[in-house]
């Protein structure tokens, strides 16, 4: 009788473990599949910022109604090899590690795909657990979504001002009109504030943002001339 009970308990534990493992695998895959066609709802970052008192202005807009200049600007500013990598820019990671080792103040080597995975599915932070999950989600979205879809989601969930999310909300917040009307200069300024959207202004920029925006706008010409946004812009 004791052996039968022990065997039964082992089988139950095995089934529970299997169900847990299947859940851990299927939930991320299911979320990625759903958001391949359905706009993400509010994210954990949005909730966190809203609770902190920054408000919540989140307006989804189709990529067809977002200025191509903004696509060029974020590729120029955030991820020049977006169309050619599979989610991870190892050259940028290596450079960031080298610069950090030399004590230079630099940004990390995260791609637009990694930032999208983090913004949509995960929480803010820098823990190794979160970074590991970010890598897994990056592989998933690069496998399931097109580059165009990744860019569309990225532009719609990125924070562009305190409590302001998405290109449409950003364009209306900073310039009083829709994202489809953004000029190259305005797009460059929006891209310039992306690293610190709660600190900098796009419509009344200080010297740092003006200099950065100028560099971004110049790089946008390279993006356009060399077809670095071809996987997104049709």
Q: How many domains does the chain have?
A: 1
For the chain, give the mean pLDDT. Answer: 88
Report the candidate in 76, 67, 34, 42 with the shortest Cα–Cα distance to residue 159. Answer: 42
pLDDT at residue 16, rounded to an integer: 52
Is residue 28 one of the residues assigned to a domain? no
Q: Which two tokens stand for residue 207?
A: 């010297």
In this predicted model, what pLDDT tens digit does every residue of 46-80 receive, in sequence order?
999 999 999 999 999 999 999 999 999 999 999 99
156 in any annotated domain: yes
Mean pLDDT for the stretch of residues 130-154: 95
What's the pTM?
0.85
pLDDT of residue 22: 42
pLDDT over 90, % of the chain: 73
Res 23: pLDDT = 47
Q: How far does CA 65 lie from the centroid of its chain?
A: 19
Domain housing 62:
55-225
- The CATH number that applies at residue 172 is 1.10.3810.10
Is 32 domain-assigned?
Answer: no
16 occurs within a structural domain: no
Considering the domain boundaries, does residue 167 fall inside one?
yes
Specify if 186 maps to a domain: yes
pLDDT(214) > 70: yes
Q: pLDDT confidence of 30, banded at 50, 70, 90?
A: confident
Residue 197 phi/psi, 5-degree rounding, is -70, -15
């Amino acid at each position: 009788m004791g052996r039968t009970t022990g065997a039964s308990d082992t089988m139950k534990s095995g089934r529970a473990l299997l169900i847990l493992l299947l859940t851990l695998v299927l939930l991320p895959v299911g979320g990625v599949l759903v958001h391949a066609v359905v706009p993400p709802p509010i994210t954990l970052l949005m909730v966190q910022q809203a609770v902190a008192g920054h408000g919540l202005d989140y307006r989804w807009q189709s990529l067809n109604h977002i200025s191509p200049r903004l696509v060029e600007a974020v590729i120029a500013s955030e991820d020049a090899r977006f169309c050619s990598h599979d989610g991870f820019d190892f050259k940028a990671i290596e450079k960031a590690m080298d610069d950090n080792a030399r004590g230079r103040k630099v940004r990390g080597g995260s791609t637009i795909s990694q930032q999208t995975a983090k913004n949509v599915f995960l929480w803010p932070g820098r823990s190794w657990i979160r970074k590991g999950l970010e890598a897994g989600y990056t592989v998933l979205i690069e496998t399931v979504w097109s580059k165009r879809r990744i860019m569309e989601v990225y532009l719609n969930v990125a924070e562009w001002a305190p409590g302001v999310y998405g290109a449409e909300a950003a364009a209306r917040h900073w310039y009083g009109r829709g994202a489809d009307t953004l000029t190259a200069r305005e797009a460059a300024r929006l891209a310039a504030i992306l690293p610190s959207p709660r600190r900098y202004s796009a419509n009344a920029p200080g010297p740092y943002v003006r200099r950065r925006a100028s560099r971004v706008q110049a790089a946008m010409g390279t993006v356009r001339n060399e077809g670095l946004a071809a996987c997104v812009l049709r």
